[in-house]
Each structure stands twice: as structure tokens, then as C-alpha cells.
Structure 1
């Protein structure tokens, strides 16, 4: 890893994020709704609303607390003309269908009382036809005081009919006019949006397609303004590929770590949903043996300053991809291996709502179904128990959150991730009481091992020193003597020294 060149928020490396698509997570009876809503459990559609809201999130915080979540990432919440709310009408108003500003304030109060941070989604590259400034442009043409807020090519504008638009739009979509961020008034407007919601208590921003605002000075000032309000504000960019430009401590703290997603899928996936994956921003996933996986991940860890590595938003799925269970072809063994690797590696893991109970769904809109609160039979209870245990272990074991990292591949179907706290001698053991404080005091080393083979794998002593270990996931004992330790077929273990 490179040396740090800027300040990164300390809390992020300890966080477990949970991503919420507000229209689909939970619906509260306290928020009035229009009558034309999709049935909650009906298959999701591109344009339909299901009526989820922010008070619904408040009412379901117990589920997130029991899961072990410590931070929420919310898809856009501002007034909009789309269920996903990436078509922003008003950057300074929470959508009334979500409960308005009061509901966000209630969520911030309730989440913070539980020790949960809240990060909002900011869409600053483009807005919507409903934005006041763009609507004025449609009404008044070249006489509009906002004519230079957008990239206008010709008049009259054609925002709703066929033919040339007359203005630049994201991906050519008429509903998403691109903002002219080169205009000082637009820059000041967007910087003020960033400040405004931090002043009201949010803990950071996830920035949508920030690479399409190809202007480092804009983002550097955005960071400066945000950090002036909250020195610990987390800024994470939606960058799908290499992010060296963005992670030197002067723009973003981390990015959505899709390259790691691809690497994990390439290692553990046997029956990938290649067509669904190809339709998403993940594009293709290359099959990887253990040795190439280790090399790929080492490259990711070495590309950025240490603070950025530990501030990455690591994920297996989002609103822009098929659900992880679907991506992996419904393969339960691959699913558990993928989650183990995600939680064993540096960075803040993020769980997309419903993935903890095994929801399935292909590319948008199918990955955006209503959370089945009323259909407990649709929940994978074994997976939920596994996720709770994995999250609890990450919380209890500081080596998994803040420790050094070493990867190895003793054979091409076995990956070993070793984590330890610098300053510990590695000799510490989990005592008979299993006390996490003992592990912290001893500077204990942990070993996450993933075996992708169809038969149990032995682990060489060079990868796992001789001794007695406890699998923190299952509670079982593993003895390593002359390379005799076994990892189950297509299984994974998280080992700690045991005495």
C-alpha cells in the first residue's frame, strides 16, 4: 500500500454498511401515499412506485441493529420524478413521498442514537426536467436566467418529443439534462447542497458518476467545503474501474469497489449468471484460480494509499447489478465464500438490502424488489444467521477491521487471507472463554481460508503455522500439524489460534 497523503475518516474502516433503496425497503402508515402504487410483493417495474419511505426505515432499524449494521447508505432521497430518485427535482427538499425533511431528520436522530451513520446519494452531474432551473429554461428559452446552467446546443429545446434534444443529457436520456458544472453559479449551487445536508446531520456523500464531472478542482473544493462542516464526512465515488486519480486524499476517501466484486465472483463462481452480469456495469467476470485472484487483489491493495484501501466501499451487489445470489447462479457455497472474502479483506463491507436473506433478482428493475417483511418464508434463515455471525466477528475482531493483510495461494484452489494487528507477535490465542478482549490484547492473527475445489483441501504449514485453531464461524476445532489442517470442499473457515 502507498503512504497516506490526506486525511481519511477514521470511523469508516470499522463500519458495516447497509444500502437501502428507499422506495423498496419499508413503507410506514405514518406517511401519506397516493393511490396508484404497485403491490409491495409484485415484481418490480421500471416506472412503478411501491411507496417505501424514510419512516419505514426508522421502523425497521431493529432488524439492522440485530444484523450488526453500523452505517446506512441511502439511494437518493430528494424530490424527484422517478422511483429511484436519480432524476432530481429539488436538491434542498426530501421527497414528500418519502416523508419529507421531517422524516429524514427522524431517521438521522434514530440512527445516530443507535450508533449508525447515514450517507446520502448525491447526483450532481445531471438533474431532471423537473428541476426549477431547467423548467424555467423550457418556458423562457434563450431569455431564461438559467440558460448557461445547462449545455444548450440549439433552440427550441425538445425535452418531451422526438428528434434532437437541443441540450446535452446523460446517456442521451431527455429526462436527465446535464448540468454545466463549469458555470461558477452551478458550482456554488452544488457545493452548497453538499454543505446543507451535512449541516443537517448526514455523515457523508456517495457521489453518482463523479468521473463524468471531469474537473478535479470542482471535487477538491467539494471535499474542502464538506470537511469544513464535518471533518469526518465520508466521500465515496461511484467509480467502476481503477480509481488512482480519485484516491490520493484530496478528492474522495474511497470508491465503490467493483473491481474487488469482479475478482471475488471470478474466484468462487461456478455457475455465474453471465447474461445478467453483462447487462450491468460489472460487464464480464473473468474466471480466476486462486493464484491469479491473489495477484489481482494484491494489485488493488497496492494501488492506493492505506487510508483509501481501508475506506473502500466493498460490495457484492447494488441497485445497479444483479443480486449477488443471482449473479452466483443460486450457488449457496459460492455465496458464503464470497461474503467471507468480502469481510476478511480491508475496506468497509456493504450489504445491499435483502441480500442478507438471500433475495434474488436480475438486472434493474428486478434487483429492486420490495423487502418481503410479510413473507418470512421467503427468507433464507440459515444465510441470515451466517451474515449476523460474520458481521459480529468483524465487529469483535479488530484485526479484520484495522489489521495488516497478507494473501497467499498455496494451491490454485485455495486462498488464505491473513490479518493481524501491527505490534502483536502473532502468538496470541483465543482463550477458553473466547473473549474478544483477549484477542485484542494479544495482537492475534486470523486466517480466512477459502477452498474452491470439490474436495477437502489440506493447508501447508507455510500458509498456516502448526497449532490448534478454532473456526470462529462454526466453533469447530482445527489442528494444524505437518500440513494436516483441512478446509471443507467448497468451504471457508475463519481461524484463530486456540489454547
Structure 2
């Protein structure tokens, strides 16, 4: 037994309150090392004849990544307090693991055990419930649809031309309103708009006025109509806030440029010294090294008050449902805590999504964000399905690692995207292989979390990195892949009509064939088995006994004890059951 690999911490993803009655416990061990783990647990104040009264529960092996196994247990302590430890067993050894390390015998002293002092309701991670059932659609407004040519900026090009970082095609809010029927038919029920506030670029990540829409997109009346029309259709609206930095034409920064050290706004930014630029070097912090994007000092009370006023205004005045926060990991944690409290004081179920590309546990403890843009999921899916550069085992291990990095309550609302305005188009990454693209949509839409489709991916649009990924939306049906669109519509319909296909049920890998990706989603009375053949050759698979005679809910084929999955094919088997779900 490799004791050095055994790890637990009574916090974060290893011990957390799943809801107001339930505590989840995880422990990590070397992959394949332990054969059984028992959780020893009890209320710290329940004693009998001088002996602490504890119970024992066998933990479940929830998954494995490249190096570790993760064991899991769910407990509902009657008094919401817990002391606990672990009995770890291998084929040749057993040991007790507690807060004081490893011991040969079960400790008799209660202060040796890990402590979950009390399950306070206010500490439970609570994301908006509606997010679990939301399928997002990301829109880059300048390139989605030109609905009002009178708003076109000077020099606007004909729709569909080659995009560049500087050119304009006239996409606007009215264009989005005009295409709500399309979005409705696709089946999405949430739209995420990249920035729409006044700015000097086509991407609008250089805000000059946080309280005004960019005139190219329309006015507040048109935006209010968009939100109203979306809400009538059951579609939520999320805006993009750039609070890490502003644009160079933001009034406070223009004042700093004009007045230098005499400016009342010099402390709104991170200025090391004056002049701001000296011998070609910037003397102030920016996003990356972009001279036109000065970094805001969110520790400054005036800056904090201003930005929080902005956040509250768009929720209160227009009823938006979410904020996506740009470069969120470079802003101080305290600002985000106060941001969350302020926004939720206006509308308690606003979804708060941070742009963080790496492990984000420090931001996902219930006091800051509800989710982050799950690029770790994105990269795993692209590497396996689009690039075909990882093996089945490597893919399963990476997805397991992502799932085990966070509490289940976080995974249920994770923002799972395949592509965005910051990445190459997924069909281009897949080298125009639309079968692989469909597999990506299938996995994304059947995975726990809140999936997001980048505009145009559902009709097979291509493009390299920025600006190639920001082409004008193709609206001529003859240039759209209508077959792909229909398949994506059907997958979205399945996610809505079969809860197990979406966020319900426990996700678990199965191993039915060395070259077939297969996994189950299991609840108390039903189970779904998904099998995907990434290869080009047909493969025969033995169908688990429980699924004999069940129909494929994709093509309605009835399966017996064996089935053949064609090259690039998949099977979706559903059955009713009375089995207890494995947590």
C-alpha cells in the first residue's frame, strides 16, 4: 500500500455539503492499490458507556484517472455534525487513516478523526436550479445577423465577407430578435452574448461605457425587447462583463492620460509610475500587454462601487439572467464575493460564470461563482474526438479527473463548451470530419453540466483561431449542413425529454469493448447506456444482460445479446429499473 498517495482534506471537493442534509466524502489513493475503503463516522457528541458511537459504510470506487482512484460516500448525519476516518484495505495490508495520519488500530480518541463541525445551510453551494436544464447558445453579436442596417458602423462590409480583427459586418440586437424562431427550433433555452457595451472594437472587450449599449448594436429599448422576447420563449439571457480591464477610451482612463498624477482616477488603475509609456515600455498593468486595455484596480473602493453598480443595473433594469465574467481569475476574490452578494440582492437566481481555463476550485465554494467555462472538459473532448490523438483510456482518465476535481453540485452546473470566440472552430479542429463532430455533440449533450453551443457549429461552420472563428453566421439554408443541424436538434430534444440523458443520474464509465467509449447514467428507476465507436470499422459488442430487448432511443432498433456498432456509429439504450443509484 502506497500510503503517500492516500489523501483527504475535510474541505472543497473532498468533503462538502451537497445540500442542507447531505455530506459527500471523497478519498484519493494510488490507482489499483486499495481493494476496499470503509468510512468510519458518527456524531461527535453521541457516546454510550464512555464509548463513541460510530457507524461503518463501505465507500464506492467512483472513478480513476491516470494515477489515482477516487472513493466516495454520501452521508445524511441526523444532527448535521460529523467526525470520520477511513479504513483502507489492500490485498496484503490494512490501515486506519485519520487527521493524525496512519494507525494500525482503529483510534479510540475522537480528536484523531477528521471533523466536519456543522452543516450550515448558508455554506451549501447553491447555483440556480434552472441552469441544470439549460442548453446555452453563444452569440458574437457583430457576426450573428444584421437586423437594422441603419445602425451599421462606417465602412461596414457586405454580410459574409472575410473577417479581420478590425472589420465590421453590422450584426446587432435586432438581428438576434429576428432569429429567435431559429434558436427556438434548435431547442436552446439560454443565450450568452459576448460584450454589447460601448467600445471601440468589433469584439467589444475594450469597454468605454459600461452603462450604454454600443450604438452599432442598438439602444436600450431594443435590448429590453430582446430580453422580453427571450423570456416569453423560456430563453435565459447572459451578458459578458469585462471588469478586469477597461478600454483606453474609458472616461476615467482618458482623464489619467490627460492629467497624469493630478488625475482623480489614477488609483482606478494599476499604475507603477508616470509617464504611462516610457521608451516603449508600459508603466501600467493591462490585459496581457494590450496598451488599449488598462487593468482596473478592483481593490479601490470607488472602482468596486462603480462596477457593482453596473452589475446590478443590468439585472434590475432589464432582468438579465446571468453574468459571464471575462478574465475572472485576475480579479481579487473579495471583489467577486461582494459582486455575488450585490447581484443576488437584486435577483437571487442570477447565474455567475467566470472565465477560468484552469482548475477553479478556489472560485467555486459558493461565495463567488456558480461555474467556470469548463475548458478542461473542452480540451479532453477535442483531443479524443476531434484530433483523435488520445486513447480511450486517456480520455476516460482525463474526464474522470475533471469530475473528481469538483463537488457534484458544481459539476451539475458546469459550463461545458466545445468551442467559443477564443478558439478555432471545432469542425476545423476535426479536419472537417462531421461524424467526429456529431460524436462531440453527443458526448457534450449527454454529460452532466450545462452545455453551450457556439453559434454556427450546429450547421458545420469552419474557421481558424481569431478572427477565423468569428465569421458571419450562415443563413442561406443551401450553405448549411441541414443534416447536422437536424441531428443536433434531436440530441437537444433527447436532453429535454429524457432527463437521464441530461443532468439526472450518476455518470459511470463501463468497459464493454477495448475500442468503444461506453458509459451509463443511472437513477433510482432508470438507466441509460451510451456506446460510441470512434473508429471507422464496425465493432461487435456484447450487450449487458439488463439491456436485452431494449430499443435504441436514437434509431429505435431493438437489441438482443449482441449488436454491431458501425464505424463512427453509436447506440443509446434506455431501460426502466428499480435499482438503487450508485453515488
Shift of 1:199: 0.8
* Superposition map of 1:381-392 within 5 A: 381-392=482-493
Match of 2:364 among 247, 258, 271: 247
1:290 matched to 2:405? The reply is no
Closer/same/farther in 2, CA of residues 466 and 166 from structure 1, 3 Å limit: closer
In the alignment, the residues of structure 1 paired with residue 380 and residue 395 of structure 2 have an alpha-carbon distance, to the nearest angstrom, of 6
Contact 1:129 1:177 in 2 (8 A): yes
SS in 2 for 1:485: strand
* Greater Cα shift, 408-417 or 84-93: 408-417
Shift of 1:498: 8.9
Q: Report the number of matched residues.
A: 456
SS in 1 for 2:484: helix
Match of 1:211 among 323, 329, 334: 329
Contact 1:465 1:480 in 2 (8 A): no
Match of 1:487 among 565, 571, 574: 565
SS in 2 for 1:259: helix
- 1:399-449, CA deviations, whole angstroms, 9 ceiling, x for partnerless residues? 12222211223333211121133x32xxxxxxxxxxxxxxxxxxx311221
Contact 1:13 1:402 in 2 (8 A): no
Contact 1:19 1:75 in 2 (8 A): yes
Closer/same/farther in 2, CA of residues 149 and 270 from structure 1, 3 Å limit: closer
TM-score (norm 2): 0.75
Match of 1:353 among 440, 445, 455: 455
* Superposition map of 1:69-84 within 5 A: 69-84=188-203
Contact 2:151 2:217 in 1 (8 A): no
SS in 2 for 1:383: helix
In the alignment, the residues of structure 2 paired with residue 337 and residue 242 of structure 1 have an alpha-carbon distance, to the nearest angstrom, of 25
Larger Rg: 2
Shift of 1:319: 0.2
- 1:295-334, CA deviations, whole angstroms, 9 ceiling, x for partnerless residues? 2212211221222101111111000001110111111111
In the alignment, the residues of structure 1 paired with residue 196 and residue 377 of structure 2 have an alpha-carbon distance, to the nearest angstrom, of 28
Greater relative contact order (Cα < 8 A, sep 6+): 1
Aligned to 2:556: 476
Contact 1:227 1:233 in 2 (8 A): yes
Closer/same/farther in 2, CA of residues 351 and 488 from structure 1, 3 Å limit: same
Match of 2:466 among 364, 367, 372: 364
Q: Which runs of 5+ in 2 are unaligned?
A: 1-12, 19-123, 578-583
Contact 1:324 1:355 in 2 (8 A): yes
In the alignment, the residues of structure 2 paired with residue 65 and residue 466 of structure 1 have an alpha-carbon distance, to the nearest angstrom, of 34
More helix by share: 1
In the alignment, the residues of structure 2 paired with residue 134 and residue 174 of structure 1 have an alpha-carbon distance, to the nearest angstrom, of 12
Contact 1:248 1:305 in 2 (8 A): no
More strand by share: 2
Closer/same/farther in 2, CA of residues 465 and 455 from structure 1, 3 Å limit: farther
CA RMSD of aligned residues (A): 1.8
- 1:145-194, CA deviations, whole angstroms, 9 ceiling, x for partnerless residues? 10110111222334xx9712332111111110011112111111111211
SS in 1 for 2:255: helix
Contact 1:31 1:98 in 2 (8 A): no
1:320 matched to 2:320? The reply is no
Contact 1:41 1:369 in 2 (8 A): yes
SS in 1 for 2:536: coil
1:197 matched to 2:314? The reply is yes
- 1:75-121, CA deviations, whole angstroms, 9 ceiling, x for partnerless residues? 00100001010000011111111002122111101100100000001
Q: Which runs of 5+ in 1 are unaligned?
A: 272-286, 425-443
